[in-house]
Structure 1
Amino acid sequence: MANKKKTSKTFFDYHPDFPRDKSHLIQLCLPREKMNNKKTPQFPLMYSEKLDGVFCFAVCDTFSVHIFSRTGEEYLSLEHLKPELYDISKTLCTDVIIFEGYAKGVPQPTVSGWCRDTKNQHYEVGAYIHDALSLDEFWGMCKTRPYEERYQALESIEDWQYNYRHAFLVPQYYADTWSDIEKAANHIWKIGGEGLVVRDPCAIYNPGKRNETMIKIKKDISYDLKVLSLQEGTGKYKGMTGALVCQFRDGKEVVVGTGLTDAQRKRWWSEFFYDEVVGKIVQIDAMTESTKGVLREPRFKGIRHDKTEGDF
């Protein structure tokens, strides 16, 4: 018998009086290339590996746990995570746990699809935890503890590897110089990882903002862009999608023809399936951005089902 599709709610259905909209619900990482050097926090800084998964946060109350996306849509396919998230919440006397939904070796678009599945459970996804807040701290009703203090509370939980099968604490390290951070990033890239997240240990939680208190460092630059239209291919791609036309900075457009599979090219050129990508937010990686604002060697990474707005 086929599984029944569940009906999901949003964070705002459970918390209708919440003071922020979905675009300002959580704190986001600032790309290193957008840093204002005059606002760089003082060393030592904390850093961790940037996992290529899906941002999630869980709200745990007395009787239930709900897991949401960065914009507040509820994930219904991660029931196996809830008992452990509940236990961590009660151990810390906190309410909101922020984590990456991640499965080692699985592409981010696949994990994203698993998280959004409303029919099936996906036990492959683990909760890789990097922050925990009280609901008042998340809500903005009180002064937030510094990140270092919040992480130390998570770290104080004993025997993570023995007590939890699906929840993992993301290791944090300290760096005294940018050279230390560069060495750590190069090590991650060498073993095939995506990059680092660098944090100011003294920073409070900054929902809805991208600033120098939480920076992501990736080998390539990466933007989340809105797809405006499709271009037909030529040669062997005649009658298929040749490229995505994406909205970029200052009204410019970026044409991206690399990174698409043959199956995607065929499917999206169809009048029945083009809207699976047109109008959606996609991740576009590139080697560099020129001084004229041109992306060098842009390539399609995947649809960001967890986002509704592009970077520009």
Structure 2
Amino acid sequence: MASSGTDTKEESKTKCKYWDKCYRKDKTHLAQFLHPSDKSDDTEEEEKMPSKPSLRKAHDISINSDDGCDQQKKDSNDKMEVDEETSVEKTTDDADEDKTKGDNCDSADEDNPRKVKCQYWDKCYRKDKTHKSTYIHPGDPEDADPGPSKPALIRRTSGRIKPEKKIDDGEAVNISGGFKLKRNGSTYQCSCFQWTKQIVPTNKRTCKHLQQYLGEDFENARLGIVASPAKKKVERAPAQHIHVSVLLAHKYVEGDIDPTGWWLSEKLDGVRAYWNGRCFYSRLGNAFVAPKWFTKDLPPDMCLDGELFGGRKQFQSTVSIVKTPDHQHWNKIKFHVFDIPSMEKEPFEKRMEAVQEYFDKAKPQYAVFVEQSRCKGTKHLEEELKKVLDKGGEGLMIRKPKSQYEKTRSHTLLKIKKFYDAEARVIGYEPGKGMNTGLVGALKCVMACGKNFKVGSGLTQKDRRNPPKIGSIITYKFQELSNSGSPRFPTFVGIRIDMNKPKDAEVITNVSDD
């Protein structure tokens, strides 16, 4: 404070418009303008002071330009930008100290001031000792007790997410498995061992039962757990080969059995397929990789036995489609299911019930259940066989009532056809003649018994241009065997992709000579 001898001189001074914000230290300026350090207790000057600047402005110290001095304006702006954290802080110490005392006059004595939390907290850039000694900042020993400043709000994310199933406070609910869930305030309890063995506080515990009942999102929010992104499930490719054993049929011989009461269905001329829950497999265990949209409705926990069928007299095109995973005509194929190998010990009627129940529930788009009907006798069998043959079908299958699924060839399953079919190995080609000149006229084949024969009927122009490879197995059909054991009127049916050796037909009698 200035001495009494200089009071008159100070009163003649003009108050500096920057007052306590002024940083000028030159003697000329100090002699012309009045500052807080010149007169600490001047009531008249206090009344003439401009309105108190906002807290934000006081903190950031945005200085206006001086009308009477362009150079001072330039110096002021440059000084603020270049040295904002030094020069301004030195001249505002007294103002901060006065403001601190005024803000805390009701809560502390001037002789024993109490440090309070800086309103700018971690945004404050002040480094001077006076400010540091007056206010608490992050990292100070006193920051655990910031004084009268307003505490930060604690956000409870669990309040934003509702449980899938609500449990009122004090309520207990019983869930499947014999477990009990109970709520006490913010604590959710479960009687399972997983919940009770945890060593964390009870209001921080959870278990799979609580997550299933309340919802995983609610539990994560309640416990403050940040849900980790779901791991992408890596799906393994199905095995290209597995061991497969299926029920195979014997040939029906009229007079050997009474078919009355047996289950009767159409014999489909398709590709035998075994569904293991993930993929189709042939009788040899080779994979038929169908598109996912084709198999999406099939059961993952049930083995099915059936036929990949593309229609009557479409055997060759069906084979071409099913052996090509990305073939464009898979939508022309249907999986016709007629049994469940995974229920092999159950009677056929119960297996048939299980298939029907699943199909009624799942309604698969590319699978059908093969219709079964009771045979009323030999005459009924002949009538049904004629109907199927007239439609271009292959024949009938009859199944013994209450029979089990035997994974071998069994007399509980019989096939009925008006012609025989068998498998042979291709060993050469017969040149074509006439319109087939330059093409294959017939396939030279060998039977399982070692008998050689030729088959040309049934070959398309495409087959003649690109015949089955030598060594491949083909299916052929014929009406009967000659006395020498050769098939009469053989007709090519197609390539067998599910067999690796020839197989002769079961022929009961020979009806004619060569």
Q: What is the one-letter code of the residue matched to 1:131? A: D
SS in 2 for 1:123: helix
Give 1:18's aligned residue: none
Q: What is the one-letter code of the residue matched to 2:385? A: A
Q: What is the one-letter code of the residue matched to 2:322? A: C
Which whole-Å CA distance do the structure 1 matches of 2:393 and 2:459 have between them?
Answer: 21
The alignment status of 1:123 with 2:331, answered yes or no, reads yes
Give 2:360's aligned residue: 159
Once the two structures are superposed, residues 152-205 of structure 1 have per-residue CA deviations (whole angstroms, 9 ceiling, x without a partner) of 222344637x82321211100111322221111111111222211111123222
Once the two structures are superposed, residues 80-110 of structure 1 have per-residue CA deviations (whole angstroms, 9 ceiling, x without a partner) of 2322212xx65xxxx2111211123571111
Deviation at 1:115, TM superposition (A): 0.9
Which whole-Å CA distance do the structure 2 matches of 1:26 and 1:133 have between them?
Answer: 7
Which whole-Å CA distance do the structure 2 matches of 1:299 and 1:158 have between them?
Answer: 37
CA distance change for structure 1 residues 83 and 150 in 2, over 3 Å: closer, same or farther? same
Deviation at 1:261, TM superposition (A): 1.9
Give 2:350's aligned residue: 149
CA distance change for structure 1 residues 102 and 167 in 2, over 3 Å: closer, same or farther? same
Match among 183, 186, 193 for residue 386 of structure 2:
186
Do the aligned partners of 2:298 and 2:364 also contact (CA within 8 Å) in 1?
no
Q: Identity of counterpart residues, as a percentage?
A: 25
CA distance change for structure 1 residues 98 and 244 in 2, over 3 Å: closer, same or farther? same
The alignment status of 1:197 with 2:389, answered yes or no, reads no
Do the aligned partners of 2:291 and 2:325 also contact (CA within 8 Å) in 1?
no
Give 1:132's aligned residue: 340
Which whole-Å CA distance do the structure 2 matches of 1:99 and 1:123 have between them?
Answer: 17
Which whole-Å CA distance do the structure 1 matches of 2:255 and 2:405 have between them?
Answer: 20
Consecutive unaligned residues in structure 2, runs of 5 or more: 1-236, 505-514
Deviation at 1:56, TM superposition (A): 0.8
Query: Computing the radius of gyration over CA atoms, which structure comes out larger, 1 or 2?
Result: 2
Deviation at 1:307, TM superposition (A): 2.1
CA distance change for structure 1 residues 182 and 56 in 2, over 3 Å: closer, same or farther? same
Do the aligned partners of 1:78 and 1:125 also contact (CA within 8 Å) in 2?
no
Q: What is the one-letter code of the residue matched to 2:472? A: K
Q: What is the one-letter code of the residue matched to 1:66? A: C
Give 2:463's aligned residue: 264
Larger relative contact order (CA 8 Å, sep ≥ 6): 1
Give 1:66's aligned residue: 279
Give 1:17's aligned residue: none
TM-score by length of 2: 0.48
Which whole-Å CA distance do the structure 2 matches of 1:218 and 1:110 have between them?
Answer: 22
Give 1:55's aligned residue: 272
Which whole-Å CA distance do the structure 2 matches of 1:29 and 1:178 have between them?
Answer: 19
CA distance change for structure 1 residues 180 and 253 in 2, over 3 Å: closer, same or farther? same
Do the aligned partners of 2:420 and 2:477 also contact (CA within 8 Å) in 1?
yes
The alignment status of 1:280 with 2:472, answered yes or no, reads yes
Match among 28, 31, 38 for residue 248 of structure 2:
28
Match among 247, 263, 273 for residue 446 of structure 2:
247
Consecutive unaligned residues in structure 1, runs of 5 or more: 1-6, 13-20, 138-143, 269-275
Which whole-Å CA distance do the structure 1 matches of 2:464 and 2:355 have between them?
Answer: 45
SS in 2 for 1:72: coil
The alignment status of 1:293 with 2:485, answered yes or no, reads yes
CA distance change for structure 1 residues 8 and 153 in 2, over 3 Å: closer, same or farther? closer
Give 2:512's aligned residue: none
Once the two structures are superposed, residues 93-146 of structure 1 have per-residue CA deviations (whole angstroms, 9 ceiling, x without a partner) of xx21112111235711111111110344622211111111327x4xxxxxx222
SS in 2 for 1:114: helix
Match among 227, 231, 254 for residue 426 of structure 2:
227
Q: Which runs of 4+ in 1 moved over 6 A?
A: none
CA distance change for structure 1 residues 187 and 232 in 2, over 3 Å: closer, same or farther? same
SS in 1 for 2:392: coil
Do the aligned partners of 1:226 and 1:309 also contact (CA within 8 Å) in 2?
yes
Which whole-Å CA distance do the structure 2 matches of 1:105 and 1:190 have between them?
Answer: 11
* Number of aligned positions between the proteins: 268
Once the two structures are superposed, residues 278-297 of structure 1 have per-residue CA deviations (whole angstroms, 9 ceiling, x without a partner) of 21111111222334423221
Do the aligned partners of 2:399 and 2:414 also contact (CA within 8 Å) in 1?
yes
Which whole-Å CA distance do the structure 2 matches of 1:8 and 1:149 have between them?
Answer: 29
SS in 2 for 1:193: coil
What's the RMSD between the two structures over aligned residues? 2.7
Which whole-Å CA distance do the structure 2 matches of 1:44 and 1:185 have between them?
Answer: 16
Do the aligned partners of 2:428 and 2:444 also contact (CA within 8 Å) in 1?
yes
Which whole-Å CA distance do the structure 2 matches of 1:75 and 1:249 have between them?
Answer: 26
CA distance change for structure 1 residues 74 and 284 in 2, over 3 Å: closer, same or farther? same
Deviation at 1:41, TM superposition (A): 7.1
Do the aligned partners of 1:46 and 1:172 also contact (CA within 8 Å) in 2?
yes
CA distance change for structure 1 residues 124 and 266 in 2, over 3 Å: closer, same or farther? closer
Do the aligned partners of 2:423 and 2:447 also contact (CA within 8 Å) in 1?
no
Do the aligned partners of 2:481 and 2:487 also contact (CA within 8 Å) in 1?
yes
Which whole-Å CA distance do the structure 1 matches of 2:413 and 2:472 have between them?
Answer: 26
Q: What is the one-letter code of the residue matched to 2:368? A: F
